[in-house]
Amino acid sequence: MVDTDRVTGAVKELAGKARGAVGDLVGSDRDSVEGRARQVQGTAERVYGEGKDAVRQTANRAADVGEDLRDSAESYYGRAEESVRNAADEAYHYAEDAYDNSGRYLSQGRRVVAQQVEESPLTSLLIAGAVGLGIGLLINSRR
């Protein structure tokens, strides 16, 4: 949208130029000077209107950039939120699986240890003694 000062300034500038030319043509100094003054006034008004147009366009561009930035930020926020939710869901399912399977693993471990003790009771006793001695030495060395 073109500013009205820009249009009226251009019209005054053209009218002043015409009046100055007519004054020069007929030899009227008064018309020539008034025409040049009106031309300068019209030029100033046109330039003022162009400046207002430039400010308006810059403000519109800044608003557009601001909207684009807001849209991008909302998009990144949405994707980040979704990623966090997905990671939390995965962690929950992993913990749930570990909890559900822990009883089974404990039971299997007990069976394996019991089987080893049955098959080799002396070796199991020596291993248990060595582990006990190692723990005792560790505890005693920290004092």
- The residue length of the chain stands at 143
The model's pTM is 0.50
* pLDDT at residue number 72: 94
How many percent of the chain have pLDDT more than 90?
43
* pLDDT at residue number 90: 95
Tell me what the pLDDT averaged over the chain comes to. 89
| pLDDT tens digits, 89-131 | 999 999 999 888 888 888 898 999 899 889 999 998 899 899 9
109-143 residues labelled b (16+ CB within 10 A) or e (exposed)? eeeeeeeeeeeeeeeeeeeeeeeeeeeeeeeeeee
Q: Is the separation of the CB atoms in 42 and 9 below 8 Å?
A: yes
* pLDDT at residue number 143: 62
Radius of gyration of the chain (CA): 46
